Amino acid sequence: MSQQAVTPQSENFSEWYNDVVYKADLVSPSPVRGCLIIKPYGYEIWEGIRAGLDKRFKATGHQNAYFPLFIPESYLKREAEHVEGFSPELAVVTIAGGEVLQEPLVVRPTSETIIGEAFSQWIQSYRDLPLLINQWANVVRWEKRTRPFLRTSEFLWQEGHTAHATEAEAEAETLQMLDVYTDFAVNEAAIPVVKGQKSEIEKFAGALRTYTIEAMMGDKKALQSGTSHNLGQNFAKAFAIKYLSRENVEEFCWTTSWGLSTRMVGAIIMTHGDDKGLRLPPRLAPIQVVAIPIYKNDAERTPVLETVNRLVAELRGAGMRVHIDDREETPGFKFNDWEMRGVPVRLEVGPKDVQNNKAVLARRDMGKEGKQFISQDGILAQVTDLLNAIHDNMLAQATAFRKANTHDLTTYDDFKSLAEKGGWARVWWAGSNDDERKIKEETGATLRCFPLEQPEGSGTCFYTGQLANRVAIFSKAY
Amino acid sequence: MSQQAVTPQSENFSEWYNDVVYKADLVSPSPVRGCLIIKPYGYEIWEGIRAGLDKRFKATGHQNAYFPLFIPESYLKREAEHVEGFSPELAVVTIAGGEVLQEPLVVRPTSETIIGEAFSQWIQSYRDLPLLINQWANVVRWEKRTRPFLRTSEFLWQEGHTAHATEAEAEAETLQMLDVYTDFAVNEAAIPVVKGQKSEIEKFAGALRTYTIEAMMGDKKALQSGTSHNLGQNFAKAFAIKYLSRENVEEFCWTTSWGLSTRMVGAIIMTHGDDKGLRLPPRLAPIQVVAIPIYKNDAERTPVLETVNRLVAELRGAGMRVHIDDREETPGFKFNDWEMRGVPVRLEVGPKDVQNNKAVLARRDMGKEGKQFISQDGILAQVTDLLNAIHDNMLAQATAFRKANTHDLTTYDDFKSLAEKGGWARVWWAGSNDDERKIKEETGATLRCFPLEQPEGSGTCFYTGQLANRVAIFSKAY
């Protein structure tokens, strides 16, 4: 790992991001265009995300299953908007087992179609509903411009797929999963997301309504961090997902789908990172505490390491993820190294600490003012509290940053100048799809969402001057 | 789920297997040839396998990472034996993003090549060694004849890939991971595998030596359940995986790879299943205990359900996986249903049990003699002990079965008649590769492995009559 500094965020946020993902050892380039190797430290963050979500999915009654990677090309064509949305991005297998396939197979860009076909087999009557399935999988969407975690031709994700007897149940599921994503983002990733609904233009190809959680990155751009779709009866009709009701009538199901991907790793990096590198939220950090023994010679080394080992054993015993850095490098080198990798807490023990039954805890989320001298007694409770405090502080910092950079605007001129300097615009909106497209063309900002939390009453659309009954957030986005 | 019985094993083991995987709701057919949908109950078994292995990999110092699904076609060609072995089975992407690719991309059949390329970037000096990586992934090998879990065009697996400074370290790693697989198979899946080395013909394409764990299925055929390969310097030379030694000399690394797949689910089914359906080993069973309330009317229902809920809460509180079957079906229907699904323990509670502070425990691994009336007090300890006893009994049964059907043979005539009636032959072996092929052609039996545990001394080869210094196991296999 390099000890060179990263490009400052203020100088070039995009270069800062690239510096950090490589210097913190999260990814490695791959020889396949648009595909990335996720290295162990990056993959462990994803494992934490996966565990945090999986627990929540199971607690809300969902079960995991696994569906084929390949989808017959004809399946995608059954839902008109769906195929239009995904066709340009498909990777297609045309040869298998040494022979040209009669029907090409698409590498799944998402699995509504093949899961829809399965659901049509699995569901017979109302007794089979709701059907609540999730899949952890890789998907492929061929991308021209790629960025680590944010946009890659192959990525890892989960995709939930459910079927329901009524429209109301499907809508409730869609919103429930948006809440699950929000709970995860806030309480594990320390990211204060905004829940909202996508516009007609921005919704999922084939959905009735798409909901999203949007997060503000360190450069004030928005990142869509997870989406939940009410698919209405579109896929049910395309794939004949039907059930026999209590009244013995054949009905189409109402289906939903929802997904969150390795993009979330990018969201964590860009929400919390600073000019020293990564800052990882404690509940997802692969290493929560790095212990650094400090000594000048062998005589000091032995007692210091004994103390470090004892303290670390106590923390690990409670399930904490702790790493001891006993490399033959200077403490300064190690401090920089673990700051770059975003470890939330540094535990230092030197010879004097051994004598005085003390230790030092330093916080990644603060400067020198966050350094504290603690007693070795009860270290577990102290570190536990500190990790929670760090989580709360990171969440508070990100929330304050988002609030400071979200502006209620009333004129298009103000909007255009904000689009240049960066930030979210919260505006009354009554424009058409064409208006939305024009704004994107002129300013680069897109309609991120209509927040679920809306002000009372109505206002004047900042763009058309018409009466508007809801506000929208516009911003440049990843 | 159907209440019809499965085809008896003795009548047609292959039909029995197909009946069980569908009736126990493990899989569902897919529209893609050779690919299978793994339904929630089947996927949960895989999740248990994954958790059990992942824990062991991490405990032995391995880290997970993720590499691209697609491999440039030219990469496979760099190791001559490797490309020869895998070429006939490849699925090839020729079109992506609407354009014909300049170089086709192979969907990974295994990842030695692309990981080899990455290792050549990651490893500079002896300080970077050993490099111990594992990947959980889907792979594709286009198969003509497929069977659920045993042979499918796409399957899920883990593939470990490691690089070492010396041949001895690589060999030690290869054998360590074979031990990890064995420990998992014996202590989680209750499968008494035999550790051995593959013959030249049966080894992995590109390996120096391949080790295997072989299990005996209920029809006395063998199933290769996991393999560990010492790759020598073959891939290191093909991909320039080099390091600078302590002595500042550039050296090629020694690499290994090892894999275990969803085949293990098939091994579990065919090792333990019987004519009533699945029998799942308790430590991997998605449901360890099914609780069945027994009552005739609403007056009985309430106290019975109260008791069941209380007992189940106690078991779940200790992390046990317990399901309450409160469907409106007869107890008989439910008993059959959960026997088919292989749940190790059935907990019955009726009105009299409520009055007497009693309950009934029935074991899936035994008939009526395994039914016991217990006190509700201390149910957790009783069920915990019972699950361990069931594990031990299933392992003992499978071990006894394997021993009874493994025969030390000295003549080819005996061998041929065993190949017809089924079982493993343990024989002294000094034949050539061609002899091995001829035996396969004539009898259908293959050289499964040279067991690591060998008898002392030497003997006469049952086929060539020559002096042989090791014994081999031959058998028909999946």
pTM (predicted TM-score): 0.96
CB-closest option in A28, A72, A154 to B69: A154
C-alpha B128 chain-centroid distance: 32
**Considering only CA atoms, which of A326, A340, A227, A325 is closest in space to residue A274?**
A340
User: Confidence class of residue A3 from pLDDT cuts 50, 70 and 90?
Assistant: low
* Domains B13-272 and B289-386 fall in the same CATH topology: no
Q: Can you name the residues that pair with A358 across neighbouring β-strands?
A: A375
Which residue from A47, A65, A68 is facing B154, i.e. has the nearest CB? A68
pLDDT recorded at residue B309: 98
Q: Which residues of A touch B64 (CB under 8 A)?
A: 40, 43-44, 47
Which pairing describes strands A194-197 and A446-451: parallel, antiparallel, or unpaired?
antiparallel
Given the structure tokens 């029935």, which residue do they identify? B362
Angle between helices A263-272 and A40-59 (to 10 degrees): 110
Instruction: Select from B37, B103, B145, B153 the residue whose CB has the most chain A CBs within 10 Å, as the one to mutate to test that interface.
Output: B37
Q: What is the pLDDT of residue B1?
A: 45
What residues of chain A lie within 8 A of the CB of B28, using their CB? Answer: 118, 121-122
A69 closest CB neighbour out of B66, B114, B154: B154
What radius of gyration, in Å, describes the C-alpha atoms of chain A? 25
How many A/B residue pairs have CB atoms within 8 Å?
156
pLDDT digits (tens, 9 = 90+) for A125-178: 999 999 999 999 999 999 888 899 999 999 999 999 999 999 999 999 999 999
Packed helices A167-187 and A40-59: angle between N→C axes, nearest 10 degrees: 140
Disruptive mutation site among B1, B69, B105 for chain A (greatest number of A CBs within 10 Å): B69
pLDDT surpasses 90 at B3:
no
Task: Examine the pLDDT at A425 and tell me if it is beyond 50.
Answer: yes
Please give the average per-residue pLDDT across A119-123, as a whole number: 97
As its CATH architecture, domain A13-272 has 2-Layer Sandwich (3.30)
Look at A37 and B67 and tell me if their CB atoms are within 8 Å. Answer: yes
Sketch the domain layout of chain A as residue ranges. 13-272, 289-386, 406-475
Asked if A91's CB is within 8 angstroms of B96's CB, the reply is: yes
Minimal CA separation from A32 to chain B, in Å: 7
Upper half-sphere CA count for residue B376 (Cβ side, 13 Å): 21
Query: Can you read off the two tokens belonging to residue A429?
Result: 């909106």
Q: How many angstroms away from the CA of B127 is the closest CA of chain A?
A: 11
Which amino acid, A60? T
- Measured between CA atoms, how close is B190 to chain A, in angstroms? 24
Tell me what the mean pLDDT of segment B346-354 comes to. 97
- Quote the pLDDT of residue B85: 86
User: What digits encode the pLDDT tens for the residues B36-77?
Assistant: 999 999 999 999 999 999 999 999 999 999 999 999 999 988
pLDDT, mean of residues A243-271? 98
The mean pLDDT value of chain B amounts to: 96
Distance CA A47, CA A38 (A): 11
In this structure, whether the domain defined by B289-386 belongs to CATH 3.40.50.800 is answered with: yes
pLDDT surpasses 70 at B2:
no
Amino acid code (one letter) for B121 = Q
CA atoms within 13 A on the CB side of B169: 14
Buried b (16+ CB within 10 A) or exposed e, A433-455: eeebeebbeebebbbbbbbeeee
Cβ within 8 Å of A, B 22-81: 28, 30-32, 35-40, 43-44, 46-47, 63-72, 75
Instruction: Find, among A137, A126, A112, the residue nearest to A237 by Cα.
Output: A112
Tokens of A266: 């990018």
Residue B55, phi then psi, degrees to nearest 5: -60, -45
Mean pLDDT for the stretch of residues A42-47: 98
Q: What mean pLDDT is predicted for residues A408-430?
A: 97
- Nearest chain B residue to A26 by CA: give it: B65
Percent pLDDT > 70 in chain B is: 99
Asked if B240 reaches chain A (Cβ–Cβ under 8 Å), the answer is no
Q: Kindly determine whether residue B89 and residue A66, on different chains, have CB atoms separated by under 8 Å.
A: no
State mean pLDDT over B132-153. Answer: 95
pLDDT at A1: 44
Secondary structure (H, E, C), chain A: CCCCCCCCCCCCHHHHHHHHHHHCCCEEECCCCCCEEECHHHHHHHHHHHHHHHHHHHHCCCEECECCCEEEHHHHCCCHHHHHHHHHHCEEEEEECCEEEEEEEEECCCCHHHHHHHHHHHCCEHHHCCEEEEEEEEEECCCCCCECCCECCEEEEEEEEEEECCHHHHHHHHHHHHHHHHHHHHHCCCCCCEEEECCCCCCCCCCCEEEEEEEECCCCCEEEEEEEEECCCHHHHHHCCEEECCCCCEEECEEEEEEEECHHHHHHHHHHCECCECCCCCCCCCCCEEEEECCCCHHHHHHHHHHHHHHHHHHHHCCCCEEECCCCCCHHHHHHHHHHCCCCEEEEECHHHHHHCEEEEEECCCCHHHCEEEECCCHHHHHHHHHHHHHHHHHHHHHHHHHHCEEECCCHHHHHHHHHHCCEEEEECCCCHHHHHHHHHHHCCEEEEEECCCCCCCEECCCCCCEECCEEEEECEC
- Chain-chain contact of A70 with B35 (C-beta, under 8 angstroms): yes
Best of A27, A30, A103 to disrupt the B interface (most B CBs within 10 Å) is A30
Q: What is the model's pLDDT at position A434?
A: 98
Mean pLDDT for all residues in chain A: 96
Burial of A206 (0-12, 13-18, 19+ CB in 10 A): buried
> What is the CATH superfamily name and number for domain A406-475?
C-terminal domain of ProRS (3.30.110.30)
**Which positions 106-145 of B are in contact with A (Cβ < 8 Å)?**
107, 114, 117-118, 121-122, 133, 137-138, 140, 142-144
* Section B161-183 average pLDDT: 98
Distance from CA of B242 to the nearest CA of A (A): 18
Distance, CA of B76 to CA of B84 (rounded, Å): 9
CB A282 within 8 A of CB A363: no
Contact state of B43 with A37 under an 8 Å Cβ cutoff:
no
Give the Cβ contact number of residue A375 at 10 Å.
11
Residue-wise pLDDT for A51-80, tens only, equals 999 999 999 999 999 999 999 999 988 888
Q: Mind spelling out the 3-state secondary structure of chain B?
A: CCCCCCCCCCCCHHHHHHHHHHHCCCEEECCCCCCEEECHHHHHHHHHHHHHHHHHHHHCCCEECECCCEEEHHHHCCCHHHHHHHHHHCEEEEEECCEEEEEEEEECCCCHHHHHHHHHHHCCEHHHCCEEEEEEEEEECCCCCCECCCECCEEEEEEEEEEECCHHHHHHHHHHHHHHHHHHHHHCCCCCCEEEECCCCCCCCCCCEEEEEEEECCCCCEEEEEEEEECCCHHHHHHCCEEECCCCCEEECEEEEEEEECHHHHHHHHHHCECCECCCCCCCCCCCEEEEECCCCHHHHHHHHHHHHHHHHHHHHCCCCEEECCCCCCHHHHHHHHHHCCCCEEEEECHHHHHHCEEEEEECCCCHHHCEEEECCCHHHHHHHHHHHHHHHHHHHHHHHHHHCEEECCCHHHHHHHHHHCCEEEEECCCCHHHHHHHHHHHCCEEEEEECCCCCCCEECCCCCCEECCEEEEECEC
Q: Residue B133, CB half-sphere, CA atoms under 13 Å: how many? A: 27
Query: Which chain A residues in 402-461 lie under 8 Å from chain B, judged by CB atoms?
Result: none
Q: Determine the average pLDDT of the residues in B366-392.
A: 96
Per-residue pLDDT, B145: 85
Kindly report whether the peptide bond that precedes residue B130 is cis, defined as omega within 30 degrees of 0. yes
Q: Which residues of B217-247 are buried (b: 16+ CB within 10 A; e: fewer)?
A: bbbbbbbbbbbbbbbbbbbbebbebbbeeee
Rg of chain B's alpha carbons, rounded to an integer? 25
pLDDT in tens, B233-290: 999 999 999 999 999 999 999 999 999 999 999 999 999 999 999 999 999 999 999 9
Q: Please give the torsion angle defined by the CA atoms of residues B363, B366, B371 and B377, in that order, rounded to the nearest 10 degrees.
A: -40
Residue type, B286: P
Confidence of residue A211 (pLDDT cuts 50, 70, 90): very high
Chain A interface, mutation test: which of B93, B95, B152, B262, most A Cβ atoms within 10 Å? B93
C-alpha to C-alpha distance for A263 and A272, rounded to whole angstroms: 14
Between CA B260 and CA B275 the distance in angstroms is: 27
Instruction: Answer left, alpha or beta for residue A58, where phi above 0 means left and psi between -120 and 50 means alpha.
Output: alpha
Distance, CA of B177 to CA of B366 (rounded, Å): 34
Cis peptide bond prior to A130, omega within 30° of 0? yes
